[in-house]
Structure 1
């Protein structure tokens, strides 16, 4: 069973964007593992809260211009 775990800043993606990422990721894996993998493919998109991780030793918060626009 292919399993993909994507972590993204909370609020960076709309529901539609998450659905598209899941669909396109599944399609890519089917290309590698054949159609038999489709019903067993898991794509998990985890949203990390602002301040929940660091980049270059600084606590990261997503800039407003990068937040999803629903």
Structure 2
């Protein structure tokens, strides 16, 4: 079973954008493994709360301008 775990900042993407990621990753699995992989493809999108991760020794918080508009 192909599996992808994608972590994104909380509130960075809309539901439609997350659905598009699921669709595209599933399509990539099908391209690589064949159509038989589609019913077994698992795409997990995890939202990480602000302050729950860091980069370059800094705790990261998503600026308001980059948050998903619902």
Band the TM-score falls in, shorter-chain normalisation:
over 0.9
SS in 2 for 1:65: helix
Written as runs of structure 1 = structure 2, the 5 A alignment for 1:6-25 is 6-25=6-25
What TM-score results when the alignment is normalised by the length of structure 2?
A: 0.97
Residue deviations 1:12-33 (CA, integer Å, cap 9, x gap) = 0000000000001100110000
Give the number of aligned pairs.
70
1:9 shift after superposition: 0.2
User: Could you say which residue in structure 2 is the equivalent of 1:30?
Assistant: 30
Asked whether 1:58 is paired with 2:58, we answer yes
RMSD of Structure 2 on Structure 1 (CA): 0.5
Structure 1's unaligned 5+ residue stretches are: none
Runs (4 or more) in structure 1 with deviation over 4 Å come to none
